[in-house]
Amino acid sequence: MTETAVISTRNLNLYYGEHHALQDVDISFARNRVTALIGPSGCGKSTLIRCLNRMNDLVDNVRIEGEILFEGANINTPQTDVVSLRKKVGMVFQKPNPFPKSIYENIAYGPRIHGIKDKKILDGIVEQSLRDAALWDEVSDRLHASALGLSGGQQQRLCIARTLAVGPEVILMDEPCSALDPIATAKIENLVEELKKTYTVIMVTHNMQQAARVSDYTGFMYLGKLIEFGETTGIFEAPREELTENYVTGRFG
Protein backbone atom coordinates (compact mmCIF):
# COMPACT_ATOMS: atom_id res chain seq x y z
CA MET A 1 0.00 0.00 0.00
CA THR A 2 1.46 3.35 -1.01
CA GLU A 3 -0.93 5.56 0.99
CA THR A 4 -0.12 7.06 4.39
CA ALA A 5 -0.93 4.66 7.19
CA VAL A 6 -2.58 6.22 10.24
CA ILE A 7 -2.47 3.11 12.28
CA SER A 8 -0.71 -0.19 11.74
CA THR A 9 0.11 -3.38 13.58
CA ARG A 10 3.31 -5.41 13.57
CA ASN A 11 3.43 -9.02 14.67
CA LEU A 12 0.28 -8.52 16.67
CA ASN A 13 -0.64 -11.56 18.72
CA LEU A 14 -3.47 -11.73 21.22
CA TYR A 15 -4.33 -14.51 23.65
CA TYR A 16 -7.53 -14.88 25.64
CA GLY A 17 -6.09 -17.20 28.28
CA GLU A 18 -4.82 -20.14 26.21
CA HIS A 19 -6.78 -19.16 23.11
CA HIS A 20 -4.54 -17.58 20.47
CA ALA A 21 -7.12 -15.23 18.92
CA LEU A 22 -4.83 -13.06 16.76
CA GLN A 23 -1.80 -14.56 15.10
CA ASP A 24 1.00 -12.40 13.71
CA VAL A 25 -1.30 -9.78 12.27
CA ASP A 26 0.46 -7.11 10.19
CA ILE A 27 -1.96 -4.58 8.77
CA SER A 28 -1.93 -0.88 7.87
CA PHE A 29 -4.95 1.37 7.75
CA ALA A 30 -4.73 4.21 5.23
CA ARG A 31 -5.65 7.81 6.11
CA ASN A 32 -8.99 9.07 4.80
CA ARG A 33 -9.95 5.65 3.57
CA VAL A 34 -12.46 3.06 4.67
CA THR A 35 -11.03 -0.34 5.47
CA ALA A 36 -13.39 -3.26 5.97
CA LEU A 37 -12.53 -6.36 7.96
CA ILE A 38 -14.40 -9.44 6.87
CA GLY A 39 -14.29 -13.13 7.73
CA PRO A 40 -16.39 -15.85 9.33
CA SER A 41 -17.71 -15.58 12.86
CA GLY A 42 -15.00 -15.92 15.48
CA CYS A 43 -12.07 -15.18 13.14
CA GLY A 44 -10.91 -12.21 15.25
CA LYS A 45 -12.29 -9.14 13.48
CA SER A 46 -13.69 -7.51 16.62
CA THR A 47 -10.65 -8.53 18.61
CA LEU A 48 -8.42 -6.79 16.07
CA ILE A 49 -10.30 -3.48 16.01
CA ARG A 50 -10.63 -3.53 19.79
CA CYS A 51 -6.81 -3.61 19.98
CA LEU A 52 -6.62 -0.33 18.07
CA ASN A 53 -8.02 1.71 20.96
CA ARG A 54 -7.04 -0.68 23.71
CA MET A 55 -10.59 -1.83 24.42
CA ASN A 56 -9.26 -5.34 25.08
CA ASP A 57 -7.61 -3.95 28.23
CA LEU A 58 -11.04 -4.29 29.78
CA VAL A 59 -11.07 -8.07 29.20
CA ASP A 60 -9.72 -10.35 31.94
CA ASN A 61 -6.92 -12.72 31.14
CA VAL A 62 -5.94 -11.11 27.85
CA ARG A 63 -2.31 -10.93 26.68
CA ILE A 64 -1.25 -8.79 23.74
CA GLU A 65 2.15 -8.96 22.07
CA GLY A 66 3.54 -6.96 19.18
CA GLU A 67 3.30 -3.35 18.14
CA ILE A 68 0.36 -1.13 17.31
CA LEU A 69 1.67 2.07 15.79
CA PHE A 70 -0.47 5.19 15.89
CA GLU A 71 1.03 8.56 15.03
CA GLY A 72 4.44 6.93 15.02
CA ALA A 73 4.27 5.58 18.56
CA ASN A 74 3.53 2.11 19.85
CA ILE A 75 0.26 2.33 21.79
CA ASN A 76 0.64 -1.16 23.15
CA THR A 77 2.73 -0.02 26.13
CA PRO A 78 1.89 0.70 29.78
CA GLN A 79 2.91 4.35 29.25
CA THR A 80 0.15 5.01 26.72
CA ASP A 81 -2.46 7.53 27.84
CA VAL A 82 -5.50 5.39 27.07
CA VAL A 83 -8.03 8.21 27.63
CA SER A 84 -6.35 10.41 25.05
CA LEU A 85 -5.94 7.42 22.70
CA ARG A 86 -9.68 6.68 22.84
CA LYS A 87 -10.41 10.34 22.08
CA LYS A 88 -8.38 10.05 18.88
CA VAL A 89 -9.49 6.53 18.03
CA GLY A 90 -13.23 6.47 18.68
CA MET A 91 -15.53 3.50 18.50
CA VAL A 92 -19.09 2.80 17.42
CA PHE A 93 -20.58 -0.52 18.47
CA GLN A 94 -22.90 -3.07 16.96
CA LYS A 95 -25.91 -2.08 19.00
CA PRO A 96 -26.57 1.65 19.35
CA ASN A 97 -25.79 2.47 22.97
CA PRO A 98 -26.84 6.07 23.72
CA PHE A 99 -26.73 7.18 27.34
CA PRO A 100 -30.17 7.48 28.96
CA LYS A 101 -29.90 11.25 28.70
CA SER A 102 -30.99 13.93 26.27
CA ILE A 103 -29.70 14.08 22.69
CA TYR A 104 -27.74 17.21 23.64
CA GLU A 105 -26.19 15.62 26.73
CA ASN A 106 -25.13 12.53 24.80
CA ILE A 107 -22.98 14.70 22.56
CA ALA A 108 -21.81 17.25 25.13
CA TYR A 109 -20.69 14.56 27.58
CA GLY A 110 -17.35 13.74 25.89
CA PRO A 111 -16.22 17.33 25.27
CA ARG A 112 -17.14 18.19 28.91
CA ILE A 113 -15.04 15.28 30.20
CA HIS A 114 -12.18 16.68 28.14
CA GLY A 115 -12.55 20.06 29.87
CA ILE A 116 -14.87 22.14 27.67
CA LYS A 117 -17.30 24.04 29.92
CA ASP A 118 -18.37 27.06 27.87
CA LYS A 119 -22.01 26.63 26.85
CA LYS A 120 -21.65 28.44 23.52
CA ILE A 121 -18.72 26.24 22.55
CA LEU A 122 -20.60 23.11 23.62
CA ASP A 123 -23.68 24.23 21.65
CA GLY A 124 -21.49 24.63 18.59
CA ILE A 125 -19.91 21.19 19.02
CA VAL A 126 -23.31 19.57 19.49
CA GLU A 127 -24.69 21.17 16.33
CA GLN A 128 -21.62 20.44 14.21
CA SER A 129 -21.36 16.83 15.37
CA LEU A 130 -25.05 16.22 14.65
CA ARG A 131 -24.69 17.85 11.22
CA ASP A 132 -21.62 15.76 10.44
CA ALA A 133 -23.49 12.62 11.48
CA ALA A 134 -26.41 13.58 9.17
CA LEU A 135 -28.82 13.80 12.11
CA TRP A 136 -29.22 17.53 12.75
CA ASP A 137 -32.25 18.05 10.51
CA GLU A 138 -34.12 15.24 12.26
CA VAL A 139 -33.42 16.31 15.84
CA SER A 140 -32.67 20.05 15.94
CA ASP A 141 -36.12 20.78 17.40
CA ARG A 142 -35.82 18.24 20.21
CA LEU A 143 -32.24 18.39 21.45
CA HIS A 144 -33.39 18.14 25.06
CA ALA A 145 -35.60 15.10 24.52
CA SER A 146 -34.35 11.67 25.54
CA ALA A 147 -32.00 9.96 23.10
CA LEU A 148 -33.82 6.73 23.85
CA GLY A 149 -36.85 8.08 21.95
CA LEU A 150 -34.92 8.01 18.66
CA SER A 151 -35.23 5.17 16.14
CA GLY A 152 -32.44 2.57 16.04
CA GLY A 153 -30.88 4.17 12.96
CA GLN A 154 -31.05 7.63 14.53
CA GLN A 155 -29.53 6.27 17.74
CA GLN A 156 -26.64 4.82 15.75
CA ARG A 157 -26.05 8.18 14.02
CA LEU A 158 -26.20 9.80 17.46
CA CYS A 159 -23.49 7.41 18.63
CA ILE A 160 -21.42 8.42 15.60
CA ALA A 161 -22.03 12.12 16.45
CA ARG A 162 -20.93 11.40 20.03
CA THR A 163 -17.69 9.93 18.69
CA LEU A 164 -17.13 12.92 16.36
CA ALA A 165 -17.70 15.42 19.20
CA VAL A 166 -14.30 14.75 20.78
CA GLY A 167 -12.38 15.24 17.53
CA PRO A 168 -11.15 11.76 16.60
CA GLU A 169 -8.84 10.86 13.74
CA VAL A 170 -9.90 7.27 13.41
CA ILE A 171 -13.40 5.83 13.78
CA LEU A 172 -13.70 2.13 14.53
CA MET A 173 -17.06 0.62 13.67
CA ASP A 174 -17.92 -2.87 14.84
CA GLU A 175 -20.77 -4.07 12.64
CA PRO A 176 -22.52 -0.70 12.94
CA CYS A 177 -25.50 -1.72 10.82
CA SER A 178 -26.22 -5.20 12.05
CA ALA A 179 -29.13 -4.04 14.21
CA LEU A 180 -30.56 -1.71 11.54
CA ASP A 181 -33.09 -2.03 8.71
CA PRO A 182 -32.00 -1.50 5.07
CA ILE A 183 -33.00 2.18 4.98
CA ALA A 184 -31.15 3.02 8.19
CA THR A 185 -28.21 0.95 6.90
CA ALA A 186 -28.09 2.93 3.65
CA LYS A 187 -27.98 6.17 5.65
CA ILE A 188 -25.01 4.95 7.67
CA GLU A 189 -23.25 3.77 4.51
CA ASN A 190 -23.75 7.19 2.87
CA LEU A 191 -22.50 8.83 6.03
CA VAL A 192 -19.35 6.69 6.04
CA GLU A 193 -18.66 7.92 2.51
CA GLU A 194 -18.77 11.50 3.85
CA LEU A 195 -16.82 10.74 7.02
CA LYS A 196 -13.81 9.43 5.18
CA LYS A 197 -13.16 12.91 3.78
CA THR A 198 -12.14 13.92 7.30
CA TYR A 199 -11.52 10.70 9.18
CA THR A 200 -10.08 7.24 8.73
CA VAL A 201 -12.74 4.57 9.09
CA ILE A 202 -12.16 0.93 10.01
CA MET A 203 -15.26 -1.21 9.86
CA VAL A 204 -15.99 -4.78 10.82
CA THR A 205 -18.82 -6.18 8.78
CA HIS A 206 -20.49 -9.52 8.23
CA ASN A 207 -22.09 -8.19 5.12
CA MET A 208 -19.88 -8.64 2.09
CA GLN A 209 -22.04 -6.42 -0.12
CA GLN A 210 -21.58 -3.70 2.44
CA ALA A 211 -17.80 -4.15 2.46
CA ALA A 212 -17.80 -4.02 -1.34
CA ARG A 213 -20.00 -0.90 -1.36
CA VAL A 214 -18.30 1.23 1.28
CA SER A 215 -14.68 0.25 1.62
CA ASP A 216 -11.53 1.14 -0.27
CA TYR A 217 -9.50 -1.64 1.31
CA THR A 218 -10.53 -5.00 2.70
CA GLY A 219 -8.82 -7.44 5.02
CA PHE A 220 -10.02 -11.03 5.07
CA MET A 221 -9.43 -12.87 8.34
CA TYR A 222 -9.69 -16.55 9.13
CA LEU A 223 -8.96 -18.32 12.44
CA GLY A 224 -7.09 -15.37 13.91
CA LYS A 225 -4.93 -14.70 10.85
CA LEU A 226 -5.08 -11.95 8.29
CA ILE A 227 -5.22 -14.11 5.19
CA GLU A 228 -5.35 -11.38 2.56
CA PHE A 229 -5.42 -7.60 2.48
CA GLY A 230 -5.71 -5.24 -0.45
CA GLU A 231 -7.91 -2.94 -2.45
CA THR A 232 -11.52 -3.96 -2.08
CA THR A 233 -12.06 -4.52 -5.80
CA GLY A 234 -9.10 -6.89 -5.90
CA ILE A 235 -10.26 -8.86 -2.85
CA PHE A 236 -13.72 -9.35 -4.32
CA GLU A 237 -12.92 -9.69 -8.00
CA ALA A 238 -9.47 -11.26 -8.12
CA PRO A 239 -8.45 -12.63 -4.71
CA ARG A 240 -4.99 -14.14 -4.57
CA GLU A 241 -5.77 -16.71 -1.89
CA GLU A 242 -8.09 -19.66 -2.37
CA LEU A 243 -9.52 -19.19 1.13
CA THR A 244 -10.48 -15.61 0.32
CA GLU A 245 -12.07 -16.67 -2.92
CA ASN A 246 -14.07 -19.39 -1.19
CA TYR A 247 -15.30 -16.90 1.39
CA VAL A 248 -16.20 -14.03 -0.93
CA THR A 249 -18.01 -16.36 -3.29
CA GLY A 250 -20.07 -17.66 -0.38
CA ARG A 251 -18.65 -21.20 -0.32
CA PHE A 252 -18.27 -21.00 3.46
CA GLY A 253 -18.85 -18.55 6.24
Minimum distance, C-beta of residue 43 to ligand ATP, in the bound complex (Å): 4
Q: Are 35 and 173 in contact (CB under 8 A)?
A: no
The separation between CA 226 and the C-alpha centre of its own chain, rounded to angstroms, equals: 18
The reply to whether 251 sits near ligand ATP by the rule CB under 6 A is: no
Q: What is the footprint of ligand ATP within residues 66-105 (CB under 6 A)?
A: none
Q: Which is nearer to ligand ATP, 16 or 136 (CB)?
A: 16
Sign of CA dihedral 158, 159, 161, 162: positive
Binding residue for ligand ATP, selected from 6, 29, 38, 45, defined by CB under 6 A: 45
User: C-beta of 237: minimal distance to ligand ATP in Å?
Assistant: 23
**Would you say 44 or 111 has its CB closer to ligand ATP?**
44
Contact between 59 and ligand ATP by CB under 6 A: the answer reads yes
- Distance CA(133)–CA(8), nearest Å, equals 26
Interface segment toward ligand ATP; rule CB under 6 A; list 44-52, 85-93, 132-140, 195-203: 44-52
Choose the binding region for ligand ATP from 38-46, 155-163, 193-201, 228-236 (rule: CB under 6 A). 38-46
Chain centroid to CA 152:
18
Closest to ligand ATP by CB, 128 vs 246, is 246
Furthest-apart CA atoms within the chain: distance in Å: 57
Binding flag, residue 44, ligand ATP (CB under 6 A): yes
Q: Name residues whose C-beta falls within 8 Å of residue 138's C-beta, 6 or more positions apart in sequence.
A: 154
> Total residues contacting ligand ATP (rule CB under 6 A)?
13
On whether the CB atoms of residues 189 and 210 are closer than 8 A, the answer is yes
**Residues 157, 92: contact at Cβ < 8 Å?**
no
Least distance to ligand ATP, CB of residue 215, Å: 16
Q: Which is nearer to ligand ATP, 41 or 77 (CB)?
A: 41
Query: Is there binding between residue 46 and ligand ATP (CB under 6 A)?
Result: yes
Interacting residues with ligand ATP between 154 and 213 (CB under 6 A): 206
Residue 70 DSSP SS3: strand
Judged by CB under 6 A, the residue of 21, 85, 160, 212 near ligand ATP is 21
Determine the Cα–Cα distance for residues 147 and 103; give it in Å rounded to an integer: 5
Q: Which of 7, 43, 122, 165 binds ligand ATP (CB under 6 A)?
A: 43
Residue 63 contacts ligand ATP per CB under 6 A: no
Alpha-helix runs per DSSP H in 140-226: 152-164, 182-195, 208-214
The strands making up 5-16's β-sheet, listed across from edge to edge, are 19-30, 5-16, 62-70, 73-74
**Is residue 26 a contact partner of residue 9, using CB atoms and an 8 Å limit?**
yes
| Binding residues vs ligand ATP (CB under 6 A) | 16, 19, 21, 39, 41-47, 59, 206
